[in-house]
């Protein structure tokens, strides 16, 4: 309480001395206000910081109710002046943010001040950011040598802003000096190359993240398809059930254990797995079991199940999307390049998908159940003769496949919308993954999922999402001409 009071006092203290400036600003005409702000930006004074922060919120002082009329130009000038003042701050991240703001908005009048701060700056990141801001200004300098140095400096960065500056410089009525012009052209090419790398990396990354979702969706599908020879059209709804389980866990935790809300995705994982696996096993027991040897009928029956599940969820939770929020540790991202930010939630999902693949591989190759699953996949009758309880293996494998889809639903709820139709939008892509990757092979599913995901995202900006999808479909049809069994086929001599 005392500290709060002290902070308030500290905030009010400079206000008292600067009150006259605030009053003056309030009564001035817009043109005068702009001139005032420009002067303040060029000659910052630590005492004026509070006033500028208040101005930014549309008032001249804490508790002052008089309304300030601001247009967009004045707002921009206020931001600029505020950034200028913030450069005097003690915190290096405040200075960094201010320097990035100044890269966009600094005016020639601020050059002297920026030069002085540039010389005094000790933090390397802020130093680099200030160098850029200075270079932006120096582009307008009268000596060609200064401009040349600035142009070269801009070429070193991979900032989207540097590109616009250089392009403006290269306009026919822009730069007159031939040397500077050539240097600007080289720098522009450099910047563009860096930006292109950033863009491509960004697309590849979102492709990886789409691929990891597809992987989680297709993994279970591939296992059950390999084992039973049936495509489960209700598989997408297992994703949906997983996502809705996440939502339920979030709601319940909010209500009964708000302390644990940060970790609700982790708690949702086993819940979603159990729900989806349970529903999957129940389906196998009641419906799919009776349709063995009739794959096309199974297709229709499972479609019927998916209709029922979708409608049930729609009646229970409503047809609107429900809100699943990211916990704090999944929000934000890591900035690698000026135009490349990798969101944490997507990084975590890629890692999670790979971990699930690893666990599935271990389960299939290092446990008794996995041995049985592989045996039944290869030759059902022979496995039954050797004493494998094929019915039980079918049920457990179906549960496993559905459970993995449920885990995929948890992952999906962190990056996309959660609604009753969620499964439908991913199911066709995951079918294509299974078609492309071949049956019963984890490696095939892995490559196909990431391949499809990356191809989708790389094609999207070039020719549009829809044409990209159609092109990919055509490519898959052509690919199957070459290898009808998918990328990785089990070798065998089975023929019907």
Partner 1 sequence: MNQPLIVTASQKAGPRLTLALGAAVTLVLLALPLLSMLPEGHALQVSAYTLTLVGKVLCYAIVALALDLVWGYAGLLSLGHGLFFALGGYAMGMYLMRQAAGDGLPAFMTFLSWNELPWYWAGTQHFAWALCLVVLAPGLLALVFGWFAFRSRIKGVYFSIMTQALTFAAMLLFFRNETGFGGNNGFTSFRTILGHDVAAPGTRAVLFLLTVLLLLGSLYLCWRLTRSKVGRLLTAVRDAENRLMFCGYDPRGFKLLVWVLSAVLCGLAGALYVPQVGIINPGEMSPTNSIEAAVWVALGGRGTLLGPLLGAGLVNGMKSWFTVAFPEYWLFFLGALFIIVTLYLPKGVVGLVKKRSQP
Binding residues (CB under 8 A) for partner 1: these are 225, 229-231, 287, 290-291, 294-301, 303-308, 310-312, 315, 428, 431-432, 435, 464-467, 469-470, 473, 476-478, 480-481, 484, 495-496
Residue with tokens 């229970």: 316
Distance in angstroms (rounded) separating the CA atoms of residues 41 and 123? 22
For partner 1, the closer CB: 382 or 428: 428
Least distance between partner 1 and beta carbon 486 (Å): 9
Least distance between partner 1 and beta carbon 477 (Å): 6
Least distance between partner 1 and beta carbon 452 (Å): 12
For partner 1, the closer CB: 332 or 484: 484
Distance in angstroms (rounded) separating the CA atoms of residues 428 and 303? 13
Residue with tokens 């040598």: 145
Residue with tokens 């979102």: 206
Instruction: With H, G, I as helix, E, B as strand and everything else as coil, classify residue 159.
Output: coil
Least distance between partner 1 and beta carbon 213 (Å): 18
Distant-in-sequence, close-in-space partners of 243: CB < 8 Å, separation ≥ 6: 272, 324, 409, 410, 412, 413, 418, 422
Instruction: With H, G, I as helix, E, B as strand and everything else as coil, classify residue 459.
Output: helix
Least distance between partner 1 and beta carbon 359 (Å): 27
List, as one string, the DSSP characters of 33-91: HHHHHHHHHHS--GGGHHHHHHHHTT-SSTT--PPPP--HHHHHHHHHHHHHHHTT-S-
For partner 1, the closer CB: 25 or 225: 225
For partner 1, the closer CB: 196 or 467: 467
Least distance between partner 1 and beta carbon 348 (Å): 30
Least distance between partner 1 and beta carbon 54 (Å): 47
For partner 1, the closer CB: 44 or 486: 486
For partner 1, the closer CB: 307 or 358: 307
For partner 1, the closer CB: 221 or 383: 221
For partner 1, the closer CB: 144 or 229: 229
Distance in angstroms (rounded) separating the CA atoms of residues 219 and 437? 10
Least distance between partner 1 and beta carbon 421 (Å): 11
Distance in angstroms (rounded) separating the CA atoms of residues 274 and 280? 10
Would you say how long the chain is, in residues? 496
Distance in angstroms (rounded) separating the CA atoms of residues 141 and 135? 10
Token output for 453: 């995901």
Q: How far apart are the first and last CA of the chain?
A: 82
């Amino acid at each position: 309480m005392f500290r709060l009071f002290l902070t308030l006092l500290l905030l009010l203290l400079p206000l008292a001395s600067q009150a006259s400036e605030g009053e003056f600003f309030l009564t001035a005409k817009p043109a005068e206000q702009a001139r005032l702000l420009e002067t303040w930006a060029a000659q910052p004074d630590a005492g004026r910081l509070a006033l500028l922060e208040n101005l930014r919120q549309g008032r001249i002082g804490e508790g002052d109710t008089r309304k300030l009329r601001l247009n967009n130009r004045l707002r921009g000038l206020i931001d600029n002046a505020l950034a200028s003042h913030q450069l005097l701050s003690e915190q290096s991240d405040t200075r960094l943010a201010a320097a990035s703001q100044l890269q966009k908005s600094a005016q020639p009048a601020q050059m002297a001040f920026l030069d002085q701060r540039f010389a005094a700056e000790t933090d390397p990141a802020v130093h680099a950011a200030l160098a850029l801001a200075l270079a932006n200004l120096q582009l307008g300098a009268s000596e060609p040598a200064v401009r040349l140095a600035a142009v070269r400096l801009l070429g070193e960065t991979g900032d989207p802003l540097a590109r616009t500056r250089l392009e403006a410089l290269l306009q026919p009525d822009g730069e007159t000096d031939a040397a500077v012009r050539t240097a600007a052209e080289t720098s522009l090419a450099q910047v563009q190359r860096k930006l292109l790398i950033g863009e491509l990396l960004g697309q590849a990354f979102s492709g990886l993240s789409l691929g990891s979702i597809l992987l989680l969706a297709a993994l279970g599908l591939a296992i059950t398809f390999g084992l039973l020879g049936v495509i489960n059209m209700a598989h997408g709804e297992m994703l949906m059930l997983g996502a809705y389980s996440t939502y339920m866990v979030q709601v319940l935790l909010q209500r009964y254990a708000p302390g644990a809300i940060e970790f609700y995705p982790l708690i949702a994982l086993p819940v979603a797995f159990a729900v989806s696996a349970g529903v999957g096993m129940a389906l196998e027991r009641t419906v799919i079991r009776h349709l063995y040897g009739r794959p096309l009928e199974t297709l229709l029956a499972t479609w019927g199940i998916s209709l029922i599940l979708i409608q049930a969820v729609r009646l229970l939770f409503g047809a609107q999307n429900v809100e699943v929020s990211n916990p704090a540790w999944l929000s934000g991202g890591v900035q690698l390049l000026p135009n490349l930010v990798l969101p944490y939630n997507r990084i975590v999902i890629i890692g999670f998908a790979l971990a699930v693949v690893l666990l599935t591989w271990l389960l299939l190759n290092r446990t008794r159940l996995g041995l049985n699953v592989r045996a039944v996949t290869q030759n059902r009758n022979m496995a039954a003769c050797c004493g494998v309880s094929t019915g039980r293996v079918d049920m457990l494998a179906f549960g496993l496949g559905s459970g993995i889809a449920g885990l995929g639903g948890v992952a999906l709820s962190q990056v996309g919308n959660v609604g009753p139709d969620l499964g439908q939008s991913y199911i066709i892509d995951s079918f294509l993954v299974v078609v492309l990757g071949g049956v019963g092979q984890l490696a095939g599913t892995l490559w196909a999922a990431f391949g499809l995901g990356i191809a989708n995202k790389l094609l999207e900006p070039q020719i549009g999402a829809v044409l990209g999808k159609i092109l990919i479909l055509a490519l898959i049809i052509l690919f199957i001409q070459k290898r009808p069994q998918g990328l990785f086929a089990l070798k065998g001599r089975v023929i019907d």
